[in-house]
Chains A and B, each alone.
Chain A
Amino acid sequence: MATLTPTITIKDPKLGQGGSGVRPPEVGGGDGGRGDNGTPDYDGRLRRARLGLITALVAIVMIFVALTSAYVIRQGLPVLDEKTGKSVSDWLQVSLPTQLLLINTFLLLLSSVTAEMARRQIAQLSRLAPVQSIPGVSLGEEKNFPWLALTVVLGLGFLFGQYLAWRELADRGFYLATSPSSSFVYLLTAAHAVHLIGGVLAFLYCSATSLFRFPLERRRIAVDISVWYWHFMALLWIYIFGLLEFVR
Chain B
Amino acid sequence: MVAQEAHAHDAPQGFIRKYVFSLDHKVIGLQYYFLALTAVFVGMFLSLLMRIHMIWPTANIPLIGEIKPETYLSLLTMHGTIMVFFVLTTAPQSGFGNYFLPIQIGAPDMAFPVLNMLSFWTTFVAFVAIIAAFFVTGGAPLHGWTGYAPLSALPSAGPGEQLGADLWITSIAIFCIASLMGALNFITTILDLRCKGMTLMRMPLTCWAWFVTAILGLLAFGVLLSAGILLLLDRNLGTSFYVPLVVVNGQVMAHKGGSPLLWQHLFWFFGHPEVYIAILPGMGVASQLLSTFSRKPIFGYKAMVYAIMAIGVLGFVVWGHHMFMSGMSPYSAFAFSVMTMAIGVPSAIKTFNWLGTLLHGRIRLQTPMLFASGFVSLFVSGGLSGPFLAQPVLDIPLHDTYFVVGHFHLIMGVAAIFGIFAATYYWFPKMFGRRMNERLGQIHFFLTLAGTYAIFMPMHYLGLAGQTRRYSQFTEVAYQAKLIPLQTFITFAAIITIAAQFIFVINLFWSMKKGPKASDNPWEATTLEWTTATPPPHDNFAGHIPQVNHGPYEYSVPGAARDYIMQTDPAGVTAH
Contacts and interface: CB of A to CB of B under 8 A. Distances in A.
B233 interface: yes
Contact of A74 (B5, B223, B262, B269): B262
A48 B188 CA distance: 7
A202 to B, nearest CB: 6
A45 B185 CA distance: 14
Given A32-B8, A67-B226, A56 B257 contact: no
Given A40-B8, A90-B257, A180-B241, A52 B1 contact: yes
A32 B218 contact: no
A52 B111 contact: yes
Contacts of B180: 56, 59
Contact of A59 (B192, B222, B230): B222
Interface string A162-182: 000000000000001101100
A204 B257 CA distance: 42
Nearest to B177: A59
B257 A180 contact: yes
A52 B6 CA distance: 12
Contact of B2 (A34, A45, A47, A205): A205
Interface stretch (A105-113, A144-152, A222-230, A236-244): A222-230
Interface residues of A, number: 50
Nearest to A182: B239
Nearest to B245: A82
A30 B11 CA distance: 10
A183 B240 contact: yes
B266 A52 contact: no
B543 to A, nearest CB: 9
Interface in A33-52: 33-34, 40, 44-49, 51-52
B510 to A, nearest CB: 36
Interface string B254-294: 00111100100110010000000000000000000000000
B184 A73 contact: no
B1 A202 contact: yes
B257 A55 contact: no
A245 interface: no
A44 B183 CA distance: 20
A195 B256 CA distance: 29
A100 interface: no
B237 to A, nearest CB: 6
Given A48-B188, A74-B262, A63 B2 contact: no
B258 A180 contact: yes
B200 to A, nearest CB: 15
B240 A70 contact: no
Contact of A66 (B1, B115, B192, B223): B223
A228 B383 CA distance: 44
A45 B188 CA distance: 11
A154 interface: no
Contact of B239 (A58, A77, A183): A183
A55 B184 contact: yes
Given A49-B1, A63-B225, A55 B241 contact: no
Contacts of B191: 51
Nearest to A53: B1
Contact of A48 (B192, B218, B265): B192
A183 B233 contact: yes
A61 to B, nearest CB: 8
Contact of A32 (B4, B7, B225): B7
Contacts of A197: none
Given A52-B1, A55-B188, A66 B108 contact: no
A1 interface: no
Contacts of B262: 70, 73-74
B239 A49 contact: no
Contacts of B1: 49, 52-53, 56, 202, 225-226, 229
Given A51-B191, A177-B238, A225-B2, A33 B218 contact: no
A235 interface: no
B239 A66 contact: no
B111 A48 contact: yes
Interface string B390-403: 00000000000000
Given A70-B230, A180-B257, A52 B112 contact: yes
B184 A56 contact: yes
Nearest to B262: A70
B184 A70 contact: no
A40 B7 CA distance: 11
B165 interface: no
B221 interface: yes
A222 B2 contact: yes
Contacts of B238: 176-177
B311 interface: no
A187 interface: yes
B8 A187 contact: no
A39 to B, nearest CB: 12
A192 interface: no
B266 A66 contact: yes
A165 to B, nearest CB: 19
Contacts of A77: 259
B539 interface: yes
A221 B111 CA distance: 14
B227 interface: yes
Contacts of A202: 1-2
A47 B3 CA distance: 10
A153 interface: no
A59 B240 contact: no
Q: Which of B6, B111, B220 has the most CB of A within 10 A?
A: B6
A187 B112 CA distance: 31
Contacts of B187: 51, 55
Contact of B269 (A34, A66, A224): A66
B244 interface: yes
A63 B6 contact: no
Interface of A: 30-34, 40, 44-49, 51-53, 55-56, 58-63, 65-67, 70, 73-74, 77, 79-80, 82, 90, 176-177, 179-180, 183, 187, 191, 202, 205, 218, 221-222, 224-226, 229
24 contacts: A32-B8, A32-B108, A44-B192, A47-B192, A49-B1, A49-B3, A52-B1, A52-B185, A52-B188, A58-B218, A59-B218, A59-B221, A63-B222, A65-B223, A66-B226, A66-B266, A77-B259, A176-B233, A176-B237, A176-B239, A180-B240, A187-B239, A225-B1, A225-B3
Interface of B: 1-8, 10, 108-109, 111-112, 115, 180, 183-185, 187-188, 191-193, 218-223, 225-227, 229-230, 233, 237-241, 244-245, 256-259, 262, 265-266, 269, 539, 545
Given A80-B245, A222-B3, A229-B1, 18 more contacts: A32-B8, A33-B6, A45-B5, A47-B192, A48-B6, A51-B111, A58-B219, A59-B180, A59-B222, A67-B226, A70-B262, A73-B259, A74-B262, A80-B244, A177-B239, A180-B258, A187-B233, A187-B239
